[in-house]
Amino acid sequence: MRYPAGRRAASSTAWRQLMKVMEVIEPMSTMAPIESLPLDLAGLLAVAAGVGWASGIRLYATLFVVGLAGRLHWVALPDGLRVLEHPWVLAAAGLMLLVEFLADKLPIVDSAWDSVHSLIRIPAGAALAAMAFGGQGVEWQTAMAIVGGSLAAGAHLAKAGTRLAINLSPEPFSNLVASLGEDSLVLLGLWLMFAHSWLLLAFLSLFVATLVWLLPKLYRLLVGRRPVHR
């Protein structure tokens, strides 16, 4: 059966257009889903520094929020941190989050909790920062462990020192306000870590500068208020 020349030309044009569409669709169908795409270097640096810093203030909240966000596919976690998505890890972190939330609201108890966690928060922050660079080479992991541990140590010292200074006051309300402020600050930092990595890195740079200014003043305050025994 023969078709008119005009109809054959129209059919040929339509076929070529269809083939062009298929050429575009085919590579798109092989693309990885968005949650599995790797983070760029700035994103990885923000995650490593962010989990290190947040661990120095709220370790269990950091573990739970990051793991839950990955579990629900809200964010793409680096491969080394995907263990936090496991249900048993989430359950343990959630339980300890509840305990820490309550303990941190009670005067004196909060300082005792901070003292015990001096041995936990800092190495945990270093480990989480190194895990964020899992698969990137031992050099990167070692460097990030140093960065994460240092940020965790700085955040922990600032938190613990501030709480000791607040506990010198007999009223309990300033302690509660400080604790809720720390909760909010950590949640904000974790959100920035994934949503606006450069803003988090800028914030942490400001945090380090503030820490250098603040810690000597806290030390002088605590030493000056210490009772002198004759």
**pLDDT value of position 189:** 95
Using alpha carbons only, what angle is made at residue 209 by residues 207 and 214, rounded to the nearest 5 degrees?
85
61 contacts 97 by C-beta, under 8 angstroms? yes
- Global confidence as pTM: 0.76
Within a domain: 10:
no
**Contacting residues for 175 by C-beta, under 8 A, at least 6 apart:** 105, 106, 107, 110, 163, 166, 167
> How many structural domains is the chain composed of?
1
**pLDDT value of position 39:** 65
Within a domain: 77:
yes
Give the separation between CA 97 and CA 92, rounded to whole angstroms: 8
> Among candidates 217, 46, 34, 48, which has minimal Cα distance to 146?
48
How far, in Å, are 56, 86, 204 from residue 151 at the CA level? 7, 26, 9
Within a domain: 156:
yes
Q: What is the DSSP string of 40-79?
A: -HHHHHHHHHHHHHHHTT-HHHHHHHHHHHHHTTSS---G
Lookup result for tokens 């257009």: 17
129 contacts 147 by C-beta, under 8 angstroms? yes
Task: Tell me the helix, strand and coil percentages in the chain, rounded to 5.
Answer: 80, 0, 20
**pLDDT value of position 180:** 93
**Contacting residues for 100 by C-beta, under 8 A, at least 6 apart:** 58, 59, 60, 61, 113
Which uninterrupted H or E stretch holds 171? Answer: none
Within a domain: 200:
yes
The list of the chain residues with pLDDT below 70 reads 1-39, 170, 218-219, 221-230
Q: What is the extent of the structural domain holding 190?
A: 41-225
**pLDDT value of position 32:** 35
Within a domain: 110:
yes
pLDDT in tens, 12-59: 555 555 455 445 434 433 333 334 334 688 889 999 999 999 999 999
| Tokens found for residue 138 | 């031992």
Within a domain: 36:
no
Within a domain: 12:
no
- 163-165-167-170 Cα dihedral, nearest 10 degrees: -150
pLDDT in tens, 134-150: 888 899 999 999 999 99
| Tokens found for residue 24 | 């575009």
Within a domain: 8:
no
**pLDDT value of position 218:** 67
